Structures are given as structure tokens and as C-alpha cells.
Amino acid sequence: MREDWNARAAEDAHYYVAFGRRNQSGEEFFDTAREQVRGLMLEIRRLPATRARARRALEIGCGPGRLMKPLSAVFGEIHGVDISDQMIERARENLAGISHAHPHHAPNSNLEAFADESFDFVYSYAVFQHIPSREVVMGYLDEAARVLKPGGVIRAQINGLPQAARVYDTWSGVRISAGEVRGWSREAGLRLLALEGVGTQYMWATFRKPLGGVSGAAAVRIRRVTNAHSSEPAAPVRGRFAALSLWVEGLPEEADLNEMEVRVCGAASTLTYLGPSEFDGIRQLNLLLPEGLATGLGPVELRALGTAEPACALVRLISPGPPVPRVLSVTDGIDLLSGSRIVTGTVKAVLEEVEQPELLRASVGGCVVESLDHFCTDPRLPRYEVNFDVPAVVASGSVSVRMELGERALGEFPVEIFR
């Protein structure tokens, strides 16, 4: 791993970390972190109330400091580790003006440099996806639990794709199932608070170390039920919007996704997120609806840790609309930040609600593409990435990419070809 990532750092560190464009400027590189920082800030809200200057954070796989730099503003001390000493050299250069930001080379793929219960927040983004060893990934999680303070939070992204009959490498790393993550959190004694993007390459998990003590059981009550994607009090029985948010009061502070069960029409749902308590004590609990539900008014039953009786509510289940296959974006296949300027001779199209990807066809400037490579990035939607080469006969200039699914035209998208 060290050799491969040192080579990538020497070739183009910004590209291999942010995977957006070759030879990105420093400003452009750090600007690509905005979305990830926004998501991490939502999880930082879970930390016990204290002054930001008193908090310590640790990043596993910090690379050249893309996330450490903006997050240093909300921690009194922030550390990062990486197996690549070349990446750490770049991180030290990028963080030179931030006295409380400390990147460290970790050649043994562990956190042995840090004491037990020494960090409030431990996080990792797009790192475990590139580790070929299950033992190393799980070892990092064990170490993260060790160095976490009581009340502290871990936020980690894990490759949750189904197992593949292949040898994993330092780019396409090992895959860890949602069930393994749930089991690990139980064994580690951590509260599982989020498990999102199950079955995808970018599964997020959030864990918290208990503060100790057990709060008394309260009367748990579902105040309202809405669609997880809107405030509507209804959800379709399948498709991308087949998800609910329960707004619950009285949940014990130590409640987590492993210690709760929600049944909709008697069938177990998949719990994905338990939010922090709001000012009125309400907590948001998100779930994916089980398959095979009928439409109509359906009962919702929540059983939580320490409660004798389930909390009950009703939800209106409706028929989903017909699938609408559509193209979300067409960009250069490698230089993603170049948008519709095709500079590498390859094209990446992202499509949604495609149920038969084998029927996809594409043409560029009227020339049929001979071979398409499609990859399912989210089976629930379903969403696909489709990659293909620009036919050799297509010259430089403004042309259209035409996408079709069987007999259905999905649209034409203007691009600029640069040869």
C-alpha cells in the first residue's frame, strides 16, 4: 500500500485523492472538499457540548490534508495519519500555517502513536475503499474505538458493495457488508447511529462510544411520520422514495440502530439513521421500507431498548410512479471537473431508474459506440455509471452524445471534443 500510494502521490496527489481532474490547482483541490466537510459537520453536532478549542479530531487516511485543513477551524487540535510518507510530506506543506494540525506517517496501518480515549471525533473518507485487506480495515476500526473518548463519535466510509470473485488491490479494496458493520459495533460496545448507502461503494457508518450509565426508560412516542425525502405524510411502497422518517420522543440517550426495530405492516424495515436530540427532545429515525408492501394505511411499530410496549403510528402507503429512466450527467470519463469538455477521449454518463442496463446504447456525433461499460452504484434507485470511449472517427469540435434505452430515447447532450 505504501509503495502504490507513494507512486500516486508523486504522479498526481490531487487527482488520486479527489479524483476530479488531472493537475488540479491547490485552490481547486481544496474546494472539492466542501460536500464532505458539510456531511462531517452534521455528525460533529452529536458531540457533547463543549468548547471547540477543547476538542481533538483524528483523520484516518488524511492524504495531503484536504479535509484536515477546513476541519481545523472547529477543533482545538486535529491529527491525521496516512500510510504514504509522500502524502504526509504534502500534508505538512499544506497545513504549515495551522499550528494545531498535525499529520503523521503511519507505516504500520494502525493508530499506535495515540493514547486510549484521546479523541472526540475520528473520521475517514474514501480510504477503506482502497485497502485490500479485511484485517487492516477492521483493525483500523478497532483502533478508532480504542482512541475514542466516551461520548466521542466515529464517522467512516466503507465499501459496502457485494463481495466479488476477485483479488482486491490498493485501488479497488475489500468489501465489508452492512451485517459485518453491525456486528462489529456490537462487539466494540459502540452505538450504531447511521448506516447509509448499504450495498454501495460509499456506505457511511456513524458510531458513538457510550458515556456510561443507563438513563431511565421513558414513554417512547412517535410524534409524526413523514417521507424521508420530504415532509409529506406518505411514501410509495418501492423505489427511491420508499423511505420514512419517524419523529420520536422519549428515546433513551443510549438508543441505537442495533437496539431498535421498526415494523411496517408487520414486516421488518431497514434502519439507516438516528439523529441527535433536538431542542424539544425529538429524534429523527430514518428507515427503508421493506419489499412487498400493499398500498393503503399501514401500521408502524417501533420497539426500542428499555421499552415494554411498542410505539405505534400509521402511515399512508401509495403506489409508486412508473420508472423514468433518465440521464443525470454526461462528463469526461476521467477529468470529471471538466464537465462536458471531453479531453481524455472517454465519456462517463450517470443514469437513474434504469432497470435493464444491457439495453443501453450511445452514439457520439452520430457515430455508434461499440462497447459500453456499466456499473451499478446504487441498486435501490437503481443508478448506473456508464463509461465508453469516443469513437476514433469523431473529430474535435461540438457534437452531441445521444443515449437510448431499448427503443426509448433518453436525450441528446452537447459536448466539446478535444483531440
Q: Residue 351's pLDDT is what?
A: 97
Q: Would you call 127 helix, strand, or coil by DSSP?
A: coil
Whether residue 145 contacts residue 186, with contact meaning beta carbons closer than 8 Å, is answered with no
* Of 206, 222, 227, the residue nearest 273 (C-alpha): 206
Q: Residue 214's pLDDT is what?
A: 56
Q: Would you call 308 helix, strand, or coil by DSSP?
A: coil
Model pTM?
0.91
pLDDT grade for 215, boundaries at 50, 70 and 90: low
Q: What is the pLDDT of residues 334-349, one digit of tens each?
A: 887 788 999 999 999 9
pLDDT of 395 higher than 60:
yes
Report d(CA 19, CA 269) in Å as an integer.
35
Distance between first and last Cα of the chain: 34
pLDDT of 216 higher than 70:
no
Q: Are strands 267-268 and 261-264 parallel, antiparallel or unpaired?
A: antiparallel
Domains of the chain: 2-208 (3.40.50.150), 221-318 (2.60.40.10), 326-417 (2.60.40)
